Structure formats: structure tokens, C-alpha cells
Amino acid sequence: MALDRWIALIFLVISLIYGYAAFHYPLLPFERGMAFLPNTQPMALSVLGAVVALVILFSRKAPTDDEDLGGIDLDEVRQFKIGQTLGLVAAMVLYALLLRPIGFLAATSLFIAGCSIVLGERKFHVLIPIALVTALVIWYLVQETLGIYMRPWPWFIDN
């Protein structure tokens, strides 16, 4: 089964779960008499979603236009750098988890340096200064110019 049908199947399941939640929506007592209920549109959407997902699942294969802009040849997928991409995803997750505890400056410079290293950069004498300067400049811009508070230092420094 092609990838797009797998995705349609997943959306079918999502529509069904969403539909279950919509049809069993716990209405508040005074809401029951209203003409428009909180679950009116969700119920309609879940039915529509399931129908369209089924259409994609069971329709004949559409003639694909190769000149499509975002289109990708699935044979090329094998040559894709999946390891690098997963490394970057992991770096983003780590950044999300560490941003609060270790502070903006440390997290950001580690993130930029880490991503560059994952991508194959080995010139550390260029890499580290760039990461540090970026973190400082962005922190200054966000905190001073935009006035949005960003905790710069780790948890053990009181700030």
C-alpha cells in the first residue's frame, strides 16, 4: 500500500476517534436545549473526514504529474539522509526539554553547535564562536528590543 493510503487510513482512524468523542460529548445540563450544540459541527466534521479518507483509500490511483513541485521520487528515499534528520529532530526535542532548566544562552549555543555537528561541520574554531555570538545577540534582541523575558542563566544561578 502506498504511503498516501497509509496516511488516509490514519486519518480515518483519527476521524473515528474524533467522531466517538463528538457523539459522546458530555453536554452540560443547560446546553441540551440549545439549537446549536458544542458538538454539532464536530459531529459533521467527523463524518465528512471519515468519508473523504475512505474515498482516498479506495479510489483508483490518480495519474501523478511528475512535474509537481513538492513531489518526490520514492526511489530516491533510500539515498535520503534519514540519520541526520533524526539527529536534528532529537536536538530540537532536547532543546525544548532543556531550555528552561539550563537557560536560554547555554541551550541555544548548544543547539546551534549540535545541529552543525550533526550536519557534518568540523571546524570548531568557527562553529563555537558563531553559536555563542548568535545566542547572545538573539537573547539581547528578544529581551531588550522586544521586551520578552527569557531566562538567560541555568537554574543554579538566581535570576
Partner 1 sequence: MLDGVIAGLTTALTVQNLIMVVAGCLIGTFIGMLPGLGPMSIIAIMIPVAISIGDPAAALIMLAGVYYGAIFGGSTSSILINAPGVAGTVATSFDGYPMARKGLAGKALAVAAISSFAGGTVGAILLFGFAPALATVALLFHSAEYFALMVVGLSAIAAFAGTGKVAKALLMTIVGLMMATVGESALFNAPRFTMGIQDLQSGFSFITLAMAMFALPEAFHMVLDPKRSRRGQPSGGEIKDLMITRQEAKAIAPVVGRQSIQGFLIGVMPGAGATIASFLGYAVERNIAKGEEQEEFGKGSIKGLAAPETANNAACTGSFVPLLTLGIPGSGTTAILLGALIALNVAPGPRLMIDRPDIFWAVIVSMYLGNVVLLILNLPLIPYIAKVLAVPRNYLIPFILFFTLMGSYIGQNNATELLILVGLGVCATIMRFADYPLAPLLIGFILGGMMEDNFARAVNITDGVSFMWERPGTLILLIVGVALIFLPAWRRRRAFARQRAQVRKEGVADGD
User: All 3 cell numbers of residue 96?
Assistant: 525544548
DSSP state, 74?
G
**Contact with partner 1 (CB under 8 A): which of 13, 20, 23, 89?**
89
When asked if residue 55 is in the footprint of partner 1 (CB under 8 A), the reply is yes
Q: How far is the CB of 119 from partner 1 (least distance, A)?
A: 5
When asked if residue 76 is in the footprint of partner 1 (CB under 8 A), the reply is yes
Nearest to 151 by CA among 97, 110, 93, 102: 102
Cβ-defined contacts of 71-74 (< 8 Å, 24+): 74/3
CB contact set of 113 (below 8 Å; sequence gap of 6+):
127, 128, 131
**Contact with partner 1 (CB under 8 A): which of 13, 20, 92, 137?**
92
Q: How far is the CB of 69 from partner 1 (least distance, A)?
A: 5
**Contact with partner 1 (CB under 8 A): which of 1, 66, 146, 157?**
146
Question: How many residues form the binding site for partner 1 (CB under 8 A)?
Answer: 77
When asked if residue 84 is in the footprint of partner 1 (CB under 8 A), the reply is yes
Residue 79 Cα distances to 18, 123, 140, 149, angstroms: 37, 26, 41, 43
When asked if residue 111 is in the footprint of partner 1 (CB under 8 A), the reply is yes
**Contact with partner 1 (CB under 8 A): which of 13, 77, 133, 137?**
77
**Contact with partner 1 (CB under 8 A): which of 1, 24, 32, 63?**
63
3-class DSSP assignment, residue 154: coil
When asked if residue 28 is in the footprint of partner 1 (CB under 8 A), the reply is yes
**Contact with partner 1 (CB under 8 A): which of 9, 16, 25, 106?**
25
CA-atom Rg of the chain in angstroms: 24
